[in-house]
Structure 1
Amino acid sequence: MQSNFGLRHVILTVALALAPTPALAIDQALLPRNLSPWGMFLGADVVVKTVMVGLAVASLVTWTVWLAKIIELRRKGALALQRTRALEGNLTLAEASARAGDANDAVVQLIQSCAREAELSGGVLDDGLQERVALRLERVEAAMSRQIARGTGVLATIGAVAPFVGLFGTVWGIMNSFIGISESHTTSLAVVAPGIAEALLATALGLVAAIPAVVIYNHLVRGVANYRALLGDASAQLMLLVSRQRDQREFRLTRAAE
């Protein structure tokens, strides 16, 4: 009886040892320990890592451009508004040029360009004076507008390209996941899930880079348009000033302006 019991115990032990491990235990063993965004980044393929780093850099560039251009627009816009209001007073072009001093902001350049044309005209009040002044002011406005808009084009590029870059990372990651399924000869979720999660993280980073870039670009475009409107007001005030002096036959400059 004892020998039969011992034999049964041995057979049961061997059967348990040879029995297949439950699928749940296998899945838990294959699951990665860290499924956080940083853990998925570390576990991603080198191509997917490169895509993620590029998108992170693009996002950093977006916020850097936003901060720099917001400060520039506010500073230059406030100064342009202040100088435009000063032109509304009862003053001559010579007085406006003298008040500008050695400053180099956009409105001052408009004043200096207008004064330069008046100097080159030698005080001749012909019909072409205002036309020549208007052409000079238009050129200065265009140059100042290009200068203030510098750097915003990169935001449009990031907003248009980042989603596709993230999609490329997703496609590459999912492709690697299917290759892993083929090599492991299993359809276990534990084998498929990490690669798909890493791939979707690339798409998420693409959207994180693209959405703020588009919103900030539209905001800066409105800011640049407002700044151009201020320069247009300043040019209009200068044209009115030239017209008044022409009607009064007083177009003498006390200071040569460059």
Structure 2
Amino acid sequence: MILDLLAPTLDFAGDSDRLNPVTLFLDADIVVQAIMLGLILASVWVWTIIVTFTFRIARVNRTCDEYEDGFWKAQNFEAFQKERRRADVPMGKVAGSGLAEWRRNAQVPTLDAEGARQRIALALTSSVGEEAENLSNRLNFLATVGSVAPFVGLFGTVWGIMNSFFQIGQQQNSSLAVVAPGISEALFATAIGLFAAIPAVIAYNRFSHRVNMVESRLQRFADKLHAALTRQLESR
């Protein structure tokens, strides 16, 4: 009903010689309409992820900058960590894992220096991987849409063309006036599939690179922290 009302308003200033997307959708077969609707919803969700992830990755970089700057200036790592423990900062979580493992090893009466180094390194590396996974948990949807949406749109196109040929057989008329509208509606499904897939692929590649950069940064921080903590253990 809403689309019926919108169709006249989207008639591109009354130019009937131009394509009207709403009319193409309304005149399409029910199967093609369902495919178009699914692709439109996927496109909306893709753009939602793009916008939210852009703000999220910017916030992560900003908070990590602030945390790292204060961490290396602190006289006591544990005291600084206790002050910032409620902050949702990936770098802070990595530091927390390393400090927790360091504390457990420091309480052992007989210290195994090599074993302590390995355990601290394992705790830090595991935390870095966990933070990278948490940061990229929505990117799989972008990859899925980018690879699947064109084929879903193509399926709608094939179905629409099949329906057009069926109408030719029903009407016993193979003129272009009979075939063209159905083919236009069918091809519109492929267009929507590409509209959903192209931004998804671009965003997935870009955001994967940004996540890799954050992960590399966390790993460098973890390596520096590992060196500092093992140095303190060995000086006992």
Amino acid at match of 1:126: D
The structural deviation recorded for 1:246 is 3.3
State the Cα RMSD in Å.
2.0
* Distance in 2 separating the partners of 1:76 and 1:159: 25
Number of the residue aligned with 2:64: 80
Task: Render the CA deviation track for 1:141-192: whole Å, top value 9, x for unaligned.
Answer: 1111110011110111111110111111111111111111111112221111
Number of the residue aligned with 1:149: 136
Structure 1 residue runs of 4 or more that deviate by more than 6 Å after TM superposition? none
Farther off after superposition, 228-237 or 93-102: 93-102
Farther off after superposition, 177-186 or 41-50: 177-186
Number of the residue aligned with 1:91: 75
Taking every aligned residue pair, what percent have the same amino acid on both sides?
Answer: 37
Relative to 1, partners in 2 of residues 1:70 and 1:34: Cα closer, same or farther, differing over 3 Å? closer
Is 1:116 aligned with 2:100?
yes
Number of the residue aligned with 2:34: 50
Aligned-partner SS, 2:128: helix
* Distance in 2 separating the partners of 1:238 and 1:33: 67
Query: What is the count of residue pairs matched by the alignment?
Result: 218
Is 1:126 aligned with 2:82?
no
Q: 1:234-245 counterparts in 2 under 5 A?
A: 234-245=221-232
Task: Render the CA deviation track for 1:30-64: whole Å, top value 9, x for unaligned.
Answer: xx998411111111110110111011011011101
* Distance in 1 separating the partners of 2:24 and 2:94: 56
Amino acid at match of 1:102: R
* Distance in 1 separating the partners of 2:203 and 2:61: 18
Higher relative contact order (CA 8 A, sep 6+): 1
Query: What is the TM-score normalised by the length of structure 1?
Result: 0.78
The structural deviation recorded for 1:243 is 3.4
Check the 8 A contact 2:71/2:77 in 1, yes or no. no
Number of the residue aligned with 1:38: 22
* Distance in 2 separating the partners of 1:95 and 1:244: 18
* Distance in 1 separating the partners of 2:88 and 2:141: 27
Number of the residue aligned with 2:148: 161
Task: Render the CA deviation track for 1:184-213: whole Å, top value 9, x for unaligned.
Answer: 112221111100100110111111111111
Give unmatched runs, 5+ long, in structure 1.
1-31, 250-258
Aligned-partner SS, 1:87: helix
For residue 231 of structure 1, the aligned residue among 211, 218, 233 is 218
Task: Render the CA deviation track for 1:117-145: whole Å, top value 9, x for unaligned.
Answer: 22222065531222111111111111111
* Distance in 2 separating the partners of 1:223 and 1:126: 38
Task: Render the CA deviation track for 1:220-251: whole Å, top value 9, x for unaligned.
Answer: 101111111121122122113213323543xx
Amino acid at match of 1:199: A
Relative to 1, partners in 2 of residues 1:153 and 1:48: Cα closer, same or farther, differing over 3 Å? same
Check the 8 A contact 2:116/2:230 in 1, yes or no. no
* Distance in 2 separating the partners of 1:194 and 1:147: 47
The structural deviation recorded for 1:102 is 3.0
Check the 8 A contact 1:47/1:169 in 2, yes or no. yes
* Distance in 1 separating the partners of 2:17 and 2:73: 73
For residue 204 of structure 1, the aligned residue among 191, 194, 197 is 191
Larger radius of gyration: 1
Is 1:71 aligned with 2:41?
no
